[in-house]
Structure 1
Amino acid sequence: MIDETRLYRLVGERLRKLREDFEMPEGRMTQAGLAALVNLERTSITNIEKGVQKVSLHALYGICDALQANVADVLPSPSEVEREKALPERTALEYGGRTYTAPPKALQRISAILDLDDDDTQP
């Protein structure tokens, strides 16, 4: 499953890098300059680069055209935006003769640090 937040953040980061690296006779391409070329507001470019605003396909093509880049170079691979699998449900952890309870994510991290097996074998 795709993590939309990660997808748009990565696309935005790649577009920002392309814009910042784009050489023009008058200097670096600004957000305002790019916005004017693709008929968007500067704030839209800002938000797209931050991954806050979802870029439409026609705008993405326009931005890539203005920056002389391929759309394929901006789009992350599916593995880069795959949603992390949920951690196994766990509410208690035994270690050193004591039982600790915490949210599942915290216990998973603690288990990894302590290098415990899934069966919670005592060290």
Structure 2
Amino acid sequence: MSGPASGDIEPVYVQIGRRVRKARNRAKLTQAVVADRTSLSRTSIANIERGEQRFMVHCLLELASALGVSPEKLLPTEAAAETRVQSVIGDISDQNAAQFLKVGLQKAKVLKK
């Protein structure tokens, strides 16, 4: 599966990719070895690590198995998601709009106070 049509990298895939690379480096494996242990190519592993390739859940399970970690270790944490939301709010140039969005997300319990 290819990346988004617009060429933008989706934050969730970037976060997963970072975790895949970190787990692979901890396990002292090359991208080629991980590819051999999964149904993915070495190029796909590289693209996943850069957050540039969408992939199906079964591939996440294969990656976790190949890397010797649980699938949960490759998924973004709630804290990482909150950091991303805070970053987006910080990028809003209209401070009133940013504050309105922040308060709304806090009330919806998407964002901690």
Give your verdict on TM over 0.5: yes
After superposition, where does 1:101-116 map in structure 2 within 5 Å?
105=93, 108=95
Residue 54 of structure 1 is matched in structure 2 by 54
Shift of 1:78: 3.6
Residue 41 of structure 2 is matched in structure 1 by 41
Report the identity percentage. 35
Please list every run of 5 or more consecutive structure 2 residues that lacks an aligned counterpart in the other structure: 1-8, 96-113
Distance 1:51 1:81 in 2: 15
Asked whether 1:21 is paired with 2:26, we answer yes
Q: CA RMSD in A?
A: 2.2
Residues 53-109 of structure 1: CA deviation (Å, up to 9, x unaligned): 01211011001011110111111124422563776xxxxxxxxxxxxxxxx62x64x
Residue 84 of structure 1 aligns to a residue in which SS? helix
With structure 2 as the length reference, what TM-score do the two structures score? 0.63
Larger Rg: 1
Residue 6 of structure 2 is matched in structure 1 by none
The structure carrying a bigger helix percent of its residues is 2
After superposition, where does 1:24-103 map in structure 2 within 5 Å?
28-82=28-82, 84=85
With structure 1 as the length reference, what TM-score do the two structures score? 0.59
Deviates more, 1:78-87 or 1:56-65: 78-87
Residue 9 of structure 1 is matched in structure 2 by 14
Distance 1:78 1:5 in 2: 16
The structure carrying a bigger strand percent of its residues is 1
Q: How many residues align?
A: 83
Residues 23-67 of structure 1: CA deviation (Å, up to 9, x unaligned): xxxxx3110111111021111000000000012110110010111
